[in-house]
Structure 1
Amino acid sequence: MAHTPVNHPARPIYRAIGGLTGLYLVAFGVLGLIASAGDDVLAQDDTAVLGQGTNLGFSLLSVLLGGAVLAGTAIGRNVDVLINQGLGYGGLALGLAGLAFIRTEANIFNFSVATVVVVMVVGLVLLMVGMYGKVGTDAEQDAWQKARLVL
């Protein structure tokens, strides 16, 4: 995308924010695994961690996604950009689906309104981190600058 910044000056800060987001997802997932130990994988009960509804399935998903974000942050070199953008869009879609199914039997991840808000915020943070973390050559940076000035 021509409008995505290349070699943004605040790139290390955005990368750190991505890592912290991954750490949050892993911490939430581990606490959720502890709180929902012994329950069904997709149980719909009153299990809550950090004020958010969860179950064993969503806790496992959070650990996996947080691990993917942390791995991408550790690897860097635009792998983190792809992971963060993909999971950011996925998080927004998951939040909207969770909101749509919150009071139905289709609420397989035991979402509450607080969970939906946090999932949407995490998705937006990952999108922001993915948009500003792109690394490229000087020629790619010049092309981005020229495209930015034309728009």
Structure 2
Amino acid sequence: MAAHFPINHHLRPLYRLLCVVAGLYMLVFGVVGFAQTSGNDFFTQDKAEWVLGLRTNAAFALLSLVAGVVVLGANLIGRNLAHYINQLAGIVLTIVGMGSLALMQTEANIFAFSMVNVIVTFILAGITGVASLYDRVGSASDAEAEEHFRHGARVAVSEGGAGGA
């Protein structure tokens, strides 16, 4: 069975706006965090700073800055680039959140994550991941073909089960 991603969903602008806000948050956090931690060691854990409610060091701030530029840029450009970047961002942020949760109280916590960082990472993963389900763009004929496939598959299943021998 093929994955179902609606084409030209009527709430697509709302989901893109949410991803723009998420990308903007990552970008601003990265810029402010990098400015505040620029004098510290890149992967410091004991001299991490609190920026916009999250704990950070220079490495995590720089990573957030890059992620913010990518998510924000893709959603400002739009088209299916936003769909694929949002899908990738949702997956990567979920993995980062899970990994950071597992490594939080160890020496391997190179990005100086706290529990708040993990929660915000999962929220951003949810926003970008859910948006990727509804932000696919296509021509009117593509949207019509997708709708036909979606409803046609359902009709074929119900017709096959309704008739009995």
Please report the TM-score for the alignment, with normalisation by the length of structure 1. Answer: 0.93
1:38-93 Cα shifts (integer Å, max 9, x gaps)? 11111102421122111100000000010001111122110111111101100000
Higher relative contact order (CA 8 A, sep 6+): 1
Cα distance in 2 for partners of 1:138, 1:51 equals: 43
Identity level (%): 38
Q: Which residue does the alignment assign to 2:17? A: 16
- Structure 2: unaligned runs, 5 residues or longer: 155-165
Q: Which residue does the alignment assign to 1:81? A: 83
Superposition deviation, residue 2 in structure 1: 3.9
Cα distance in 1 for partners of 2:121, 2:3 equals: 28
- Structure 1: unaligned runs, 5 residues or longer: none
Cα distance in 1 for partners of 2:22, 2:100 equals: 20
Q: 104-113 or 48-57: which moved more? A: 48-57
Determine if contact 1:5/1:144 at 8 Å carries over to the other structure: yes
Runs (4 or more) in structure 1 with deviation over 3 Å come to none
Q: From 130, 136, 142, give the equivalent of 2:132.
A: 130
Q: Which residue does the alignment assign to 2:32? A: 31
SS at match of 1:78: helix
Over aligned residue pairs, what C-alpha RMSD do you find? Answer: 1.3
Q: Residue type of the partner of 1:51?
A: G
Q: Which residue does the alignment assign to 2:94? A: 92
Q: From 42, 50, 53, give the equivalent of 1:51.
A: 53
Count of residues in Structure 1 that have an aligned counterpart in Structure 2: 151
Please report the TM-score for the alignment, with normalisation by the length of structure 2. Answer: 0.86
